[in-house]
Structure 1
């Protein structure tokens, strides 16, 4: 009886550790930093995305995916025709580096997540940009790149971990109550 309670507590602890550990997507950093210039723009404006290093092959095609409100209106700034979908935008690396201006639509608003994927190398780089209506001030990041742990996307993990801790405490209380009953 005592061993089964200990085994259950150990199993719950292992599950809690597994849920609280970083996921595979967060375990490896991107091979280069993507810099958006400017990092915050107004709707119907362009931001140029560059890398600090050359993570791609010399003149490799790069797929661009943009996720955000009204993101289908985003297009490469040097292309004058409208693009129906933005999940297959492409550009070409310049000596292995990213250098692409992207024009955000007039009805753009909020945070946009961008993914740049090298077609042949498989290198994946991620960044985000904020589009705010003219006259509003975005929150300051003090000029530093936003990197690392994103607590918004890990809320489910924290809730699951908390639930496991509560379940472990319930098992411990149940074991103590059972011990007292058998001792009396």
Structure 2
């Protein structure tokens, strides 16, 4: 029984330690990334990384994922990857062209090949017909999208799951002790 409890504790510790490893990567601070442009279907947005965000003249691998095809250069697909070279001061500007039927969230990840620094940007693109209706004010809303996500944090989910596992383990131990007492 002690081995079972030790195994459960070790498994729980491993599960809780895994997200900490992901946080160890070097990320550019939000203040080093600025996004401008047109976040509409068919529009183009520019993501600018400030000087020093990457190493001088470093190769930066950029990946854009989203609900529909995007274009980095001349490559329209659902996930686009392309390599850029940072300027001599470590800055970088990436232009993202959204497809005509784009809608939803698009995420840009720029990773320095030498430094391993990761820069992130996110775009929320409204469909062309919704953007036109919001601009004309004909839909009766203030032009914002409805919030459809959850508000429960990942930490709360881990704590809740851990409590359920701990409770189950206690029930197993209690049953084992009860059976041992009945046989004595």
Question: TM-score, normalised on structure 2?
Answer: 0.67
Q: Is the 8 A contact 2:41 2:103 kept in 1?
A: yes
* Greater per-residue strand proportion: 2
Runs of 4+ in 1 over 4 A off after TM superposition: 158-161
Distance in 2 between residues matched to 1:183 and 1:125, nearest whole Å: 60
* Greater per-residue helix proportion: 2
* Residue number in structure 1 paired with 2:23: 26
Q: Is the 8 A contact 1:46 1:101 kept in 2?
A: yes
Distance in 2 between residues matched to 1:16 and 1:36, nearest whole Å: 40
Q: Is the 8 A contact 1:67 1:113 kept in 2?
A: yes
RMSD of Structure 2 on Structure 1 (CA): 3.4
* Residue number in structure 1 paired with 2:138: none
Q: Is the 8 A contact 2:39 2:45 kept in 1?
A: yes
| 2:15 is the alignment partner of 1:15 | no
Which structure would you say has the larger RCO, counting Cα contacts within 8 Å and 6 or more residues apart?
1
* Residue number in structure 2 paired with 1:89: 82
| 2:72 is the alignment partner of 1:75 | yes
Question: TM-score, normalised on structure 1?
Answer: 0.67
Choose which of 125, 128, 135 in structure 1 pairs with 2:119.
125
Q: Secondary structure at the match of 1:56?
A: coil
- Once the two structures are superposed, the pairs formed by residues 37-48 of structure 1 within 5 Å of their partners are 37-38=36-37, 41-48=39-46
Gaps of 5+ in 2: 135-142
Q: Aligned-pair distance for 1:110?
A: 0.6
